[in-house]
Amino acid sequence: MTISVNLIAISVILFFKPVTISAQKHTSFFIFGDSSVDPGNNNFIDTIPENQANYKPYGQNGFFKDPTGRFSDGRIIVDFIGEYANLPIIPPFLDPSADYSNGVNFASGGAGILSSTNHGQAIDLKTQLKYFEDVRKWVDGKLGSSEAEEVISSAVYFFSMGSNDYLGGYLGDPMMQQLHHPEEYVGMVIGNLTQAIQEIYAKGGNKFGFLSLSPLGCLPVLRALDPEATGGCLEQANSLALAHNNALQSILSNLDHLLKDFKYCNSNFFDWIQDRINNPSHYGLKEGVSACCGSGPYGGLFTCGGTKKVTTYELCGNADEHVWWDSFHPTEKIHQQFAESLWAGPRAVVGPFNLRDLFSDEEDTIADLIDNNLENKFSF
């Protein structure tokens, strides 16, 4: 089956609670990704309406005063992770007023690991890495090389990307399907992600977190393509997501053996979200299949906000009852559950480290070091 629609990303993971916030020191937080973790970078680029979320009803739950560009009814997973790590909201890199002292978020709605994915419409991973190098130089200029190295080596680097590469970049591109067998294409995506990890490691980073891929074929937008299909999910998309997740875990295990002091957090996110789709009532939800905001079968027509070709849409009464906020993206409640799982989940399902392990065992942020320098300078 060929899918001829530009698709925006989503990636998600496992859930365990309660969350305990215990870190005493702060660790900088750098985020690379797509719409699953975009805090508003796409507000500052020229892109298509499908790749922006800076309009109502996005952000409707009131945590933020106005829509921010987050593809959610409120906060997203990295907002909660930052909170658990005692950090302020991590800003989008392109915001002119952004303060990089605690880290920065480079993510862009529609972005891919491959530069060919949604080319010219989003900030791809290669460009995000260039932006990180700009920030690294800024840190060096602010603190000096020795303390800058300390910040970079103690920081946590979080990746949430890949969905767009398989949905729009492969299933939505018949030419790409002709050029590459699925296994070869997965290898290309994973190869580019591996190169990015190694590039950051070479610059001093050694602690990484990952959102692996969800069952992409069960997104409301894909269910809507064939609402009469048995089981409702597009198995071709699910197979690609599983292949990606398996390849990622294999690569991470290899890097763990090859790279000194390399630490990572990963989990079986595919099964995590699948269980909530199939059994929403087990998790305090009522609706696991249909989107809260959208139109058509399952709310799968990507019309939320009315800025696309179809300007009418429907909005549910309580987003907290839904797994899906719009045709591609989960609700804030789901983002929070994902964050709790990655932060404090047991090693049996989140491992070999959880994010609390990665944030709690290291040094200060840029802001901490600047404050310490000022205290030393003016102490008597």
Marked catalytic residue, from 124, 329, 335, 341: 329
Say if CB 104 and CB 98 are below 8 A apart. yes
Rounded to whole angstroms, the Cα distance separating 286 from 369 reads 47
- CB neighbour list of residue 217: distance below 8 Å, 6 or more residues apart: 233, 234, 235, 236, 237, 238, 241
326 labelled catalytic: yes
Marked catalytic residue, from 35, 108, 160, 212: 35
Marked catalytic residue, from 38, 124, 165, 326: 326
Strand residue runs (E) in 144-193:
156-160
Give me the residue label for tokens 């906060």. Answer: 75
Instruction: Identify the three-state secondary structure at position 101.
Output: strand
252: which 2 tokens?
């991470």
Rounded to whole angstroms, the Cα distance separating 223 from 234 reads 7
Say if CB 179 and CB 130 are below 8 A apart. no
Instruction: Report the amino acid identity of residue 43.
Output: N
Instruction: Identify the three-state secondary structure at position 121.
Output: coil
Number of other CB atoms surrounding residue 55 within 10 Å: 15
26 labelled catalytic: no
- CB neighbour list of residue 52: distance below 8 Å, 6 or more residues apart: 42, 43, 69, 109, 307
Phi, psi angles (nearest 5°) of residue 316: -70, 165
Rounded to whole angstroms, the Cα distance separating 329 from 318 reads 16
Q: Which residues are catalytic?
A: 35, 326, 329
